[in-house]
């Protein structure tokens, strides 16, 4: 696996995925407003790739600061009060839960204003709701965003990059464009999913709803109980994720267990070298997998895959230690191995084809390929298990 500086990865995405070409010698401006920090980089196109000309940032400006401004607006609109002390400095589990809900609602309101003229911020404990118009929100955010603009100009000047050399501006959020219509992304949140669940309950005419959730579904179930607990009947949460660490870093905690599972599988594969050709010892199998994973470009069926695909395949395959899953993983890695050794396109196994289709197009996912819609409209039952 080859790691790239984030601005270089953004520039490669800008060219290779978005199709926005720019000539060697010209520069791309990468603007990244994160949760707690702001980063800006100037990336120059070279004859053999990209080079970071200059990069800098602000450590005290980010999306959370805009959220804080929204919370402060709600405080002013609601007139403050003693219960705000419990939200600012929570001492009990109920206070912590209320503070979490307040900040979640502030973030949701911020996101809704991308498409609506106004939004409501509910304030738990105070039992009030503050209205926030788009104009009010822009006034709250403008001082923070003006600082990022001024810093961007400063970086360009210090890099001695004239306006004429800037080929484009890349907003880091454009990485999310591959997930669908970017305009829909602000509404793809767990709290909005919980709201949709309760709307479905109302549409069905049910006073209460029962719920079974596992993995991410346990987090969704917990959020639903926080928001609409009075509407819940029987609730089962299986294989619960830790809500305290839920987010992009959640799965990194699984790394030791996945590494141990990979080593067990390698021992299994070493005993079947004559069948799969991945190595006669566990160490050789692991070394072969590592070499396959570092290959920058392999042609598997209709896809050209990069070094990120094999780690993903390992991740989704090593949860199951059955003989059938072990064999399927060995067959799939043997395909990657042949592609790496020959440099030619290699046909995938049926299972690998389904995996790559899902990875690159979303096929096989009821949320993407219309399975749910077909069932609701036409009564066509899905022929496979799929999760949203």
Q: What is the reported pLDDT for 383? A: 42
Q: Which has the higher per-residue pLDDT, 383 or 354?
A: 354
155 shares a domain with 287: no
124 shares a domain with 33: no
Q: What does the pLDDT look like over 59-86, one tens digit per residue?
A: 888 888 899 999 999 998 876 677 888 8
288 shares a domain with 208: no
| pLDDT at 32 exceeding the cut of 90 | no
113 shares a domain with 49: no
Domain end, chosen from 218, 240, 262, is at: 240
pLDDT classification of 236: cutoffs 50, 70, 90: very high
| pLDDT at 365 exceeding the cut of 50 | no
Beta-sheet pairing, 27-33 with 38-46: antiparallel
49 shares a domain with 150: yes
344 shares a domain with 264: yes
Average confidence (pLDDT) over 290-296: 86
Average confidence (pLDDT) over 293-301: 85
82 shares a domain with 52: no
Domain end, chosen from 217, 240, 263, is at: 240
H/E/C letters for each residue in the chain? Answer: CCCCCHHHHHHHHHHHCCCCCCCCCCEEEEEEECCCCEEEEEEEEECCEEEEEEEEEECCCCHHHHHHHHHHHHHHHHCCCCHHHHHHCCCCHHHHHHHHHHHHHHHHHHHHCCCCCEEEEEECCCCEEEEEEHHHHHHHHHHHHHHHHHHHHHHHHHCCCCHHHEEEEEEHHHHHHHHCCHHHHHHCCHHHHHHHHHHHHHHCCCCCEEEEEEEHHHHHHHHHHHHHHHHEEEEEEEEECCCCCCCCCHHHHHHHHHHHHHHHHHHHHHCCHHHHCCCCCHHHHHHHHHHHHHCCCEEECCEEECCCHHHHHHHHHCCCCCHHHHHHHHHHHHHHHHHHHHCCCECCCHHHHHHHHHHHHCCCCCCCCCHHHHHHHHCCCCCCCCCC
Q: What is the reported pLDDT for 380? A: 40
Q: What is the reported pLDDT for 44? A: 93
Instruction: Please report whether residue 376 resides in a domain.
Output: no
Token pair 């039952």 is at which residue? 381
285 shares a domain with 270: yes
List Cβ neighbours of 46 (8 Å cut-off, separation of 6 or more). Answer: 24, 25
Total structural domains within the chain: 4
Q: What is the reported pLDDT for 309? A: 87
Q: What is the reported pLDDT for 4? A: 66
Domain that holds residue 282: 250-348
Instruction: Please report whether residue 379 resides in a domain.
Output: no
Instruction: Please report whether residue 245 resides in a domain.
Output: no
Provide the percentage of residues in the chain whose pLDDT is more than 70: 85
Q: What is the reported pLDDT for 388? A: 36
Q: Which of 187-201, 221-235, 257-271 has the lowest mean pLDDT?
A: 187-201
Instruction: Please report whether residue 284 resides in a domain.
Output: yes
CATH number at residue 23: 3.30.420.40
Instruction: Please report whether residue 259 resides in a domain.
Output: yes
Instruction: Please report whether residue 104 resides in a domain.
Output: yes
| 97-122: burial string, b at 16+ Cβ within 10 Å, e else | ebbbbbbbbbbbbbbbbeeeeebebb
| pLDDT at 266 exceeding the cut of 90 | yes
125 shares a domain with 25: no
Mean pLDDT of the chain: 82
Provide the percentage of residues in the chain whose pLDDT is more than 90: 31
Question: Angle between the 216-228 and 190-203 helix axes, to the nearest 10 degrees?
Answer: 70
Instruction: Please report whether residue 387 resides in a domain.
Output: no
Instruction: Please report whether residue 381 resides in a domain.
Output: no
pTM of the predicted structure, to 2 decimals: 0.46
55 shares a domain with 145: yes
198 shares a domain with 160: no
340 shares a domain with 210: no
| pLDDT at 366 exceeding the cut of 50 | no
């Amino acid at each position: 696996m080859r790691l790239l500086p984030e601005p270089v990865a953004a520039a490669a995405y800008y060219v290779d995925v978005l199709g926005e070409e720019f000539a060697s010698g010209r520069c791309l401006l990468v603007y990244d407003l994160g949760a707690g920090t702001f980063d800006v980089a100037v990336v120059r196109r070279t004859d053999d790739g990209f080079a970071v000309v200059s990069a800098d940032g602000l450590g005290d400006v980010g999306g959370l600061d805009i959220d804080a401004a929204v919370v402060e607006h709600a405080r002013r609109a609601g007139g403050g009060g003693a219960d705000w002390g419990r939200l600012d400095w929570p001492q009990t589990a109920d206070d912590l839960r209320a503070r979490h809900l307040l900040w979640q609602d502030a973030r949701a309101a911020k996101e809704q204003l991308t498409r609506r003229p106004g939004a409501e911020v509910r304030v738990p404990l105070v039992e009030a709701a503050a209205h926030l118009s788009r104009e009010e929100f822009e006034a709250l955010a403008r001082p923070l965003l003006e600082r990022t603009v001024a810093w961007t100009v400063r970086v360009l000047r210090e890099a001695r990059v004239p306006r004429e050399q800037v080929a484009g501006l890349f907003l880091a959020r454009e990485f999310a464009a591959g997930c669908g219509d970017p305009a829909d992304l602000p509404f793809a949140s767990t709290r909005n999913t919980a709201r949709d669940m309760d709307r479905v309950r109302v549409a069905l005419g049910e006073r209460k709803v029962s719920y079974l959730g596992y993995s991410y579904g346990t987090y969704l179930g917990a959020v639903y109980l926080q928001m609409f607990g009075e509407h819940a009947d029987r609730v089962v949460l299986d294989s619960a994720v830790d809500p305290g660490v839920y987010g992009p870093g959640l799965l990194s905690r699984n790394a030791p267990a996945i590494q141990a599972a990979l080593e067990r599988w390698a021992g299994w594969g070493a005993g079947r070298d004559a069948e799969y050709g991945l190595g006669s010892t566990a160490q050789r199998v692991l070394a072969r997998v590592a070499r396959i994973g570092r290959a920058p470009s392999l042609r598997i069926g209709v896809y050209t895959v990069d070094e990120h695909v094999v780690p993903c395949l390992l991740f989704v395959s090593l949860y199951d230690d059955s003989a059938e899953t072990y064999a399927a993983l060995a067959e799939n890695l043997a395909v990657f191995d042949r592609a790496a050794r020959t440099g030619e396109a290699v046909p995938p196994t049926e299972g690998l084809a389904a995996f790559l289709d899902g990875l690159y197009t979303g096929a096989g996912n009821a949320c993407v390929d219309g399975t749910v819609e077909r069932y609701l409209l036409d009564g066509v039952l899905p022929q496979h298990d799929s999760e949203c």
